[in-house]
Structure 1
Amino acid sequence: MGTRRILVTGASGFIGRQVCRHLPADAELHFTSRGEKALTTGTWHGVDLREPAACEALIQKVRPHTLVHCAWNTQHGQFWEAQDNLQWLEAGVALFNAFAAHGGQRIVACGTCAEYPDAFVEPLCESQPIAPGAPATLYGQAKLALLHHLQTLDVSHAWVRIFLAYGEGEDARRLVPNVACALLSGIAAQCSSGTQLRDFMDVRDMGEAIAMLAASDVKGVVNLGSGQPATIGQVASMLGEITGKPELVQLGALPDRPGEAPVLVPDTRRQTEELGFIPRIGLRRGLEDAVSYWSTHCLP
């Protein structure tokens, strides 16, 4: 067998760029992005993957052995019910069909914890059956529909259910950068009640785990998380301690989002026992690194 050819979609995105940093050096690497190139290595393809024909043409051109599909709309505050979720679903079906038709061997695709209905018992387990209309958002429903299509194809695959990633390159409007930038600027960091329990995973660990999964023979749905849940209030308070401005953290200053799940925590046994991946970066260190990053990236 010759050099393994790997194609990563969304390679300049928040998670995609971290995946790329952990791919094997001896592989032939191909990346797609509509934005900046995150790495100087590999071959970059400027493709709008929302177009099914473009997906088919890309696979026909590259003929990858492994496909890591990270691309999707994740625009903060809008992606939950964005109509282009249906475009991403249609394009993903075309991408996977073309990959299987041209001899592709292994697909690893990024799903989401939003596929799980709020009614599920915590911690959330991959083996729990989910009805197509059960996810609460269009985003979760579209991701779940793409998984169901992938399961019909005769190709080795793993589907990653991502929980809360944070760290370098994150959208500045999300929790960690929003709070960190407020504190670094010396202004109040207004938060919701902070009682919501979540699983926060450093994006560097997440990228490494996805790259590891692509090289493995682990199949099916795999939750990715730190395995160390924390409340939003604990994260905000820790950021206050790290910046030396705990008095500026204002829990309860904002209302909780209507319908927000009080607990969103994964069962990570498949990640640790089958994939053999244990996160290296604890929450305190990850938040310290995030504060360091945002100290030079916050908007004035």
Structure 2
Amino acid sequence: MRILVTGGAGFIGSHLCRRLLADGHEVLSADNYFTGSRKNIHDLLANPNFEALRHDITFPLHVEVDQIYNFACPASPVHYQYDPVQTTKTSVHGAINMLGLAKRTGARILQASTSEVYGDPEIHPQTEDYWGRVNPIGPRSCYDEGKRCAETLFFDYYRQHKLDIKVVRIFNTYGPGMQLHDGRVISNFIVQALHGEDITLYGDGSQTRSFCYVSDLVDGVVRMMQSGPGFTGPVNLGNPSEYTIAQLAETIIRLCGSRSKLAFKPLPEDDPRQRQPDIGLARKNLEWWPSIPLEDGLRETIAYFRRLLDTPPNTAKGANR
């Protein structure tokens, strides 16, 4: 099939492009390179089945495709709060444009939504039938509410125009290909540990997250796209193993062989206290669950960042010798 991946030069998008090419498809990546990078897809550019297009999905796109994976949107607080109006436009106008494209071409379309639609949840773990607890006017709202509105649009197109839709809610994902300074907790901690700097924790470190390795996540996304037409989602995709932020920091310090210490700062506004997916729906309908343990995934991710920083094992500033 000919498949469009918006945000195809981003962290998850580039991994998804590789998977789809390996599965024998023709892949068109559309990315405005605000947070994505051509470096992420450099190894794909010579592939005759791959095409890279610089495009902002807040403007219509006229191509012929069989499937659309809509992944275009900044996903870390540092990036989505940099230009919050544009973040909302990307989620809302972008969804409208991609849904319009799917309607015209008859393509199946998948929306990469987020666990942030649950906000600071009152139930734990989070199930797909939970409506969430989101501040509509806070500093994170551009992302949280933008993604919630995108889900609304997808289901309205499904009901009104009988569009073939799929919606996944992605929980924290990590792995090789993350940016050095993207503001996500795992990349922040690894870079600080490799430099021997203090590890910055917000709050007391007791807030929890669940971390899914990128290859596991991509497999779940592809399974969702391939699932039967009667299953629209939304479906949670993430690793149900839950860790406190302090546990994560200590694990990264140990795996990096670093002497970094923990440094605590005030908790940002609207930062969720707990985040853990209930993946029962994905297990039942997609026969999907993560297979990569956290420490195994962290070792691969640390090795990737060492290559970026040109920092050999156990010789980083402040590392154990």
Q: Residue 266 of structure 1: CA displacement? A: 1.3
Q: Measured at CA, do residues 133 and 191 of structure 1 come closer, stay the same or move farther in structure 2, by a change above 3 Å?
A: closer
Among 111, 133, 143, the residue aligned to 1:139: 143
Structure 1 contact 52–95 (Cα < 8 Å) conserved: no
Is 1:209 aligned with 2:220? yes
Q: What secondary structure, in the 3-state scheme, does the structure 2 residue paired with 1:230 have?
A: strand
What is residue 316 of structure 2 aligned with on the other side?
Answer: none
Please give the alpha-carbon distance, in whole angstroms, between the structure 2 residues aligned to 1:297 and 1:272.
Answer: 36
What is residue 128 of structure 1 aligned with on the other side?
Answer: 130
What is residue 6 of structure 1 aligned with on the other side?
Answer: 3
Q: Residue 135 of structure 1: CA displacement? A: 8.6
Among 129, 148, 153, the residue aligned to 2:152: 148
Q: Deviations over 1:184-224 (max 9, x none)?
A: 22233232321111111112211222122222224220111
- Structure 1 counterpart of 2:173, one-letter code: A
Please give the alpha-carbon distance, in whole angstroms, between the structure 2 residues aligned to 1:253 and 1:117.
Answer: 23
What is residue 237 of structure 2 aligned with on the other side?
Answer: 224
Among 242, 247, 257, the residue aligned to 1:234: 247
Q: Measured at CA, do residues 150 and 191 of structure 1 come closer, stay the same or move farther in structure 2, by a change above 3 Å?
A: same
Among 179, 183, 197, the residue aligned to 1:187: 197
Higher percent of residues as helix = 2
Q: Measured at CA, do residues 278 and 131 of structure 1 come closer, stay the same or move farther in structure 2, by a change above 3 Å?
A: closer
What is residue 167 of structure 1 aligned with on the other side?
Answer: 175
- Structure 1 counterpart of 2:218, one-letter code: G
Among 76, 95, 102, the residue aligned to 2:105: 102
- Structure 1 counterpart of 2:110, one-letter code: V
Q: What secondary structure, in the 3-state scheme, does the structure 1 residue paired with 2:24 have?
A: coil
Q: What secondary structure, in the 3-state scheme, does the structure 2 residue paired with 1:248 have?
A: coil
Q: Residue 292 of structure 1: CA displacement? A: 0.9
Please give the alpha-carbon distance, in whole angstroms, between the structure 1 residues aligned to 2:199 and 2:133.
Answer: 39
How many residues were matched structurally? 288
Unaligned runs of 5+ residues in structure 2 are: 312-321
Q: Measured at CA, do residues 9 and 78 of structure 1 come closer, stay the same or move farther in structure 2, by a change above 3 Å?
A: closer
Q: Residue 131 of structure 1: CA displacement? A: 8.9
Unaligned runs of 5+ residues in structure 1 are: none
Please give the alpha-carbon distance, in whole angstroms, between the structure 1 residues aligned to 2:227 and 2:127.
Answer: 21
Please give the alpha-carbon distance, in whole angstroms, between the structure 1 residues aligned to 2:131 and 2:269.
Answer: 25
Structure 2 contact 175–213 (Cα < 8 Å) conserved: yes
Please give the alpha-carbon distance, in whole angstroms, between the structure 2 residues aligned to 1:210 and 1:155.
Answer: 18
Q: Residue 299 of structure 1: CA displacement? A: 7.9
Q: Residue 33 of structure 1: CA displacement? A: 2.6
TM-score between the two structures when normalised by the length of structure 2: 0.82
Structure 1 contact 73–84 (Cα < 8 Å) conserved: no
Q: Residue 119 of structure 1: CA displacement? A: 4.3
What is residue 30 of structure 2 aligned with on the other side?
Answer: 32
Is 1:48 aligned with 2:55? yes
Q: Residue 280 of structure 1: CA displacement? A: 1.8
